[in-house]
Amino acid sequence: MTNHEALLFISIWFGLFLVLGQSVAIVLMGAGIIGIVALVGVKVLGGLLAPDIIGAASSFSLSIIPLYLVMAQFLLRGRVVEDLFLVGYRLSGRRRFPLGAATIVSGGLLGAVSGSGAAASAALASMASPQLQRVGYTRSFSIALAAISGSLAAIIPPSIIMIIYGSLTLVPVGHLFIGALLPGVLCIAVYIGCLHFFAEVSEEGTDTDEGIETDVSRSAVSAFVFVLILMTVIFGGIYGGIVTAAEAGALGAVTALIGMLGMRRIGLRDVFEALTDSVKVTAMLMFIVLGAQAFGRFLSLSRAPRELLDFAAPMLENPTVLIALLLLVFFVAGLILESAAVMVLIIPIIMPLLNAAEVDLIWFGVMACFMISLGLLTPPVGLATYAACAAAGHPVAPIFRRTGLFALVTAVIVSFILVRFPEVVTWLPSRIQ
Amino acid sequence: QNLTLSSSLPQVHFWVGVALDRFADKVEAETDVRFTRFYAGELVGVGRGLDALQGGTVDAVTPLLAPYHPGVFPLSDISQVPVYNTDSPAVTRAFQKMLDSDVELVPGKTFYDYEIGDKGIKAWALGATGAYAISTSGKEVREPSDFDGLQLRAGAALQTMTLEQLGVNPVTITGAEIFEAVSRNTIDGAIISVGDWKSYSLVGLLDYTIDGVALGHWESYNAMTQSAWDSLTPEQQEVFDQAAREVALETAEFIETQEIEVREEAREQGAVFEDVSDLSPEMQTHIADAGRRAWIQWIEATEANGHPARATAQLWAELIAEEGGELPEGVAEYLAD
Amino acid sequence: MIRLIGKFEWGLAAIGGGMCLLAIMGITVLTVFGRYILQADLIPGGYNMIGGAFFPLLVFWGLPLAHRSGSFPKLEVIDVFLSKHVARAVGAFVLLCELAVYAVLTWYCAKYTITAFEFGRQLQIGTGYWPSWPVVIMAPLSFGIMMIEVVRLLLRDVRAVFN
Ligand code: NA
Ligand code: NA
């Protein structure tokens, strides 16, 4: 087959099996293998497939992933996100808009000590959305808000997707984490703005909820303080140049473990389950990385990245247009594909382009991670929305309408600001050194 | 005739932008062989070169990084033993002679036979890097006690051995991580060649270097599959061989020039290069002792794994001496025993 | 038999993988502690141990359980438009392709393991070396176990189509 025939054939294969419901990792792996065989024959597989699989699975930079996952697991099992919400509940005076905003902020706070979003969305959907309904938001909107708040865990650093970006581009993960701090705060602000404009209020809701007295217990306050301590350990450690992102992850995980055990929030059984779950999710993510890597080898063999570079060469004059286009590609890919897959697939293809345009890789990486993470909220595949709906026992379609709207508006506003003012990303990391 | 040629490193690296591209250009200019070139690990990643060759994925790999295939090229580590007064061209010539040598390390097997011969590949030396020197940031190392508790980055296993013999805490990180680790004082410095400072943004950061003693030189292979080699006509083979040898030396010259430039730039920014012979006698003895013990440690460990490390070291010692390099004191006596 | 395999997969991930994760946490924290408090490298080669052994073991031991518990993300749009019978048939077809992919992975990883064993491939751990095959062999093992699970699902779907 010629390169173009193979690319066409594999695109059809890829789309077909994706729609037929094969898991993303297997679609990538299968399409990659078939594509390689179609282009250059079976003989090349021997030296490519197994070394790539063993090599990627032996990557130190990706070994950070389970550390940030297990840290979040300890906190979730210790019901820390619920307590964060309770503190916000109290501070908001149980008034409608402040409580909605507090939900977003507590999602953001949890996000600052955990790596991925779906689990936090589920916890907030079962815990926070009833309270949100009580102060007058509709049920659908309450669940959507829970999904949106929980998904901040992927946007606010530390983030799994940034770890993967770092491993692909050799940009220090610590710099990405620090660089994403201000954009994360910006994203929270835009969400709160969206809340103001798009909130849906039911007829029977009341603005204040004086019905139930939920005093903020000492334990809720201690959870809040603990999260602040943990944030200091992670970001203070990285920003202060004391530890690397990998070491911050391990310190954070051990701190969370000791803290949750010490406060008797989790038992040994929870520890065991948290470890198992983190192993499971890491394996799942790594399988996507392996599949995307195989697919990437097919693309390299087809010379597609080079053709893309030639094709996009005229645009190098005006990198802003190029960057805006690439961000759009990330957003669209995030609609259907799992975020790790988007990253591993697209970054190697566009790396020559980014280098040729002399794009700041920290700046671009933070923006790319941001666009991909919004995919957690957008239909048809949005894991945060799925998780919130599953926890609340609600059909997904009406929720996707709302989470998708938030994601779209935020994508436009935040990416405009970040492209226009790169300092929002680059200023803090430049001060690490 | 079309051959695929793959590199795990980007074109900005001298083993690609100079070694690989000049080699391929020369061959293309003089024969009708054409290369499809893949760079920066887009097809074959670091440490996966031999598998790609043996599995028939590609026809040629540059550089084939021997140290990233632990256990597979046991004797090729020899270029990493500590030596004095060497530079890139000298070590490159010594390594080429090593590959051409007909001295049998075990009955019936030369260095080339032992390291390359049974792997189904054909290989040439690349240009060796400059000397891997001890460089620190904000901490001058003048007396043996200055080494105690010092945290230095090491790349290869043999460098780690030498550092431990010096009393240093070796920290294993990749070249890309050195900048971050040094600038945050996670480590005090690194074992790296001065010529590499630029690619890792270390100019202006590392400010003290002990000159004149190398904790070895990194050397790698330009390799192709035996079947691709056999498919060439004798004339083409001649062109390949000539090009590979010439380009290795050209690369070494390039590396040497780059090293001098970087050194000059670093000096302008206040970096100090202290020749080992200007250090105190105790310090000179300490470094030489550590160097000798590293040779012995490597030889004994590698012999224990069943490889002719001693014979290899003897041959290397001779070739380094021929090129004007010197060994740590006591090594010659040890090898003569 | 199937239940036994399920238990085994769970044990690999929960006990094996969990211990690897604890080891990664422990090694890293001890390294930081040693660096700042004792000025010493408490676990020489810890970096290599994590990247070369504990992390790949964690991944390969976790894969079968992740696969069995259905946590691999996928697009679920087609089922809505198909009758139950057709959906099962489509599912069987997709699984058959999946089986082929796992078979290819198992085959090449097994070949790689044999090469690693025969040629004495090693992992560099600090100044020393560990043999690499005990880690590498987990890849074909893992994909092989996943094949069994796919066969079970496939039989279930095929039965459903013909019933
Ligand atoms: Na996060
Ligand atoms: Na999506």
Count of domains observed in chain A: 1
A325 neighbors A366 (Cβ within 8 angstroms): no
ipTM field: 0.91
Beta bridge partners of residue B223, listed in sequence order: B61, B123
The least confident of A200-214, A322-336, B38-52, B193-207 is A200-214
Please tell me the distance between residue A67's alpha carbon and the centre of ligand 1 in angstroms: 12
Average pLDDT on B311-336 reads 96
Burial group, residue C163, by CB count within 10 angstroms (0-12, 13-18, 19+): exposed
How far apart CA A265 and CA A218 sit, in angstroms, is 13
Mutate to test the interface with A, among C22, C25, C48 (most CBs of A within 10 A): C25
Q: B99-126, pLDDT tens digit by residue? A: 999 999 999 999 999 999 989 999 999 9
Token couple for A422: 């790169």
How far apart CA A309 and CA C158 sit, in angstroms, is 47
- Residue A202 sits at φ, ψ, to 5 deg, of -85, 160
State the pLDDT at residue A208.
57
Question: Are residues C60 and A46, on separate chains, in Cβ contact within 8 Å?
Answer: no
Q: For tokens 């810890």, what's the residue?
A: C46
Burial group, residue B264, by CB count within 10 angstroms (0-12, 13-18, 19+): exposed
Q: Which ligand is nearest to the CA of A334?
A: 2
Average pLDDT on C112-125 reads 90
pLDDT at residue C41 tops 80: no
Half-sphere exposure of residue B254, counting CA atoms within 13 Å on the CB side?
A: 19
Query: Can you say whether the dihedral through the CA atoms of A128, A264, A274, A221 is positive or negative?
Result: positive
CA angle C155, C61, A289 (to 5 degrees): 85
Please tell me the distance between residue A372's alpha carbon and the centre of ligand 1 in angstroms: 14
Chain A neighbors of C94, CB-CB under 8 A: 17, 20-22
Half-sphere exposure of residue B79, counting CA atoms within 13 Å on the CB side?
A: 32
| Eight-class DSSP state of C14 | I
Residue C43, helix vs strand vs coil? coil
**pLDDT under 50 in chain A at which residues?**
211
DSSP H/E element including B16: none
Q: Which ligand is nearest to the CA of A69?
A: 1
Predicted model pTM: 0.92
State the pLDDT at residue B144.
95
Average pLDDT on B163-184 reads 82
pLDDT at residue B161 tops 80: yes
Q: Above pLDDT 70, what percent of chain B? A: 100
How far apart CA B186 and CA B137 sit, in angstroms, is 11
Query: Closest Cα partner for B73 from B82, B64, B61, B60?
Result: B64
Question: Are residues B169 and C129, on separate chains, in Cβ contact within 8 Å?
Answer: no
Closest by Cβ to A24, choosing from C14, C73, C104: C73
The distance of B330 to chain A (nearest Cα, Å) reads 39
Please tell me the distance between residue A376's alpha carbon and the centre of ligand 2 in angstroms: 5
How far apart CA A147 and CA B35 sit, in angstroms, is 52
pLDDT at residue B183 tops 90: no
Helix pair angle (A396-420, A319-336), 10° resolution: 160
pLDDT at residue B42 tops 90: no
A374 neighbors A334 (Cβ within 8 angstroms): yes
Chains touching B, CB cut-off 8 Å, 3+ pairs: A, C
Query: Closest Cα partner for B175 from B161, B159, B154?
Result: B154
How far apart CA B305 and CA B289 sit, in angstroms, is 24
How far apart CA C114 and CA C122 sit, in angstroms, is 13
Q: B216-237, pLDDT tens digit by residue? A: 999 999 999 999 999 999 999 9
- Residue A421 sits at φ, ψ, to 5 deg, of -125, 80
| Eight-class DSSP state of B132 | E
How far apart CA A384 and CA A378 sit, in angstroms, is 9
Per-residue confidence band for B265, with pLDDT thresholds at 50, 70 and 90: very high
CA torsion angle A312 A315 A320 A324 (round to 10): -40
Measured between alpha carbons, how far apart are the two ends of chain C, in Å? 24
Please tell me the distance between residue B174's alpha carbon and the centre of ligand 2 in angstroms: 35
Q: How many CB atoms lie within 10 A of CB C80?
A: 7
Token couple for A260: 């949750």
Chains touching A, CB cut-off 8 Å, 3+ pairs: B, C
State the pLDDT at residue C162.
82
Q: Which ligand is nearest to the CA of A160?
A: 1
Q: Which parts of chain B fold into alpha helices (H)?
A: 14, 21-30, 49-54, 88-100, 111-115, 157-166, 175-183, 226-230, 234-268, 281-304, 309-322, 331-336
Domain residues for the domain of A142 are 3-430
Secondary structure in 3-state letters for chain A: CCHHHHHHHHHHHHHHHHHCCCEHHHHHHHHHHHHHHHHHCHHHHHHHHHHHHHHHHCCCHHHHHHHHHHHHHHHHHCCHHHHHHHHHHHHCCCEHHHHHHHHHHHHHHHHCCCCCCHHHHHHHHHHHHHHHHHCCECHHHHHHHHHHHHHHHHHCCCCHHHHHHHHHHCCCHHHHHHHCHHHHHHHHHHHHHHHHHHCCECCCCCCECCCCCCCCCHHHHHHHHHHHHHHHHHHHHHHCCCCCHHHHHHHHHHHHHHHHHHCCCCCHHHHHHHHHHHHHHHHHHHHHHHHHHHHHHHHHHCCHHHHHHHHHHHHHHCHHHHHHHHHHHHHHHHHHCCHHHHHHHHHHHHHHHHHHCCCCHHHHHHHHHHHHHHCCCCCCCCHHHHHHHHHHCCCHHHHHHHHHHHHHHHHHHHHHHHHHCCHHHHHHHHHHC
Burial group, residue A356, by CB count within 10 angstroms (0-12, 13-18, 19+): middle
Residue B160, chain C, CB below 8 Å: the answer is yes
Query: Can you say whether the dihedral through the CA atoms of A262, A264, A269, A270 is positive or negative?
Result: negative
Token couple for A190: 């835009």
Average pLDDT of the residues of chain B: 93
Q: B54-104, pLDDT tens digit by residue? A: 988 999 999 999 988 988 999 999 999 999 999 999 999 999 999 999 999
Q: Which residue of C has its CA nearest to B172?
A: C47
How far apart CA A347 and CA A365 sit, in angstroms, is 9
Chain A neighbors of B53, CB-CB under 8 A: 47
Query: Closest Cα partner for B87 from B11, B191, B194, B246?
Result: B194
Q: DSSP letters of B270-317? A: T-EEEEGGGS-HHHHHHHHHHHHHHHHHHHHHHHHTT--HHHHHHHHH
- Residue A241 sits at φ, ψ, to 5 deg, of 70, 20
- CA C34 remoteness from chain centre: 32
Residue C30, helix vs strand vs coil? helix
Residue B189, helix vs strand vs coil? strand
State the pLDDT at residue A270.
95
pLDDT at residue C163 tops 80: no
Q: Indicate the pairing of strand B34-38 with strand B60-64.
A: unpaired
Please tell me the distance between residue B224's alpha carbon and the centre of ligand 2 in angstroms: 45
Question: Are residues A283 and C100, on separate chains, in Cβ contact within 8 Å?
Answer: no
Mutate to test the interface with B, among A33, A36, A40, A48 (most CBs of B within 10 A): A48
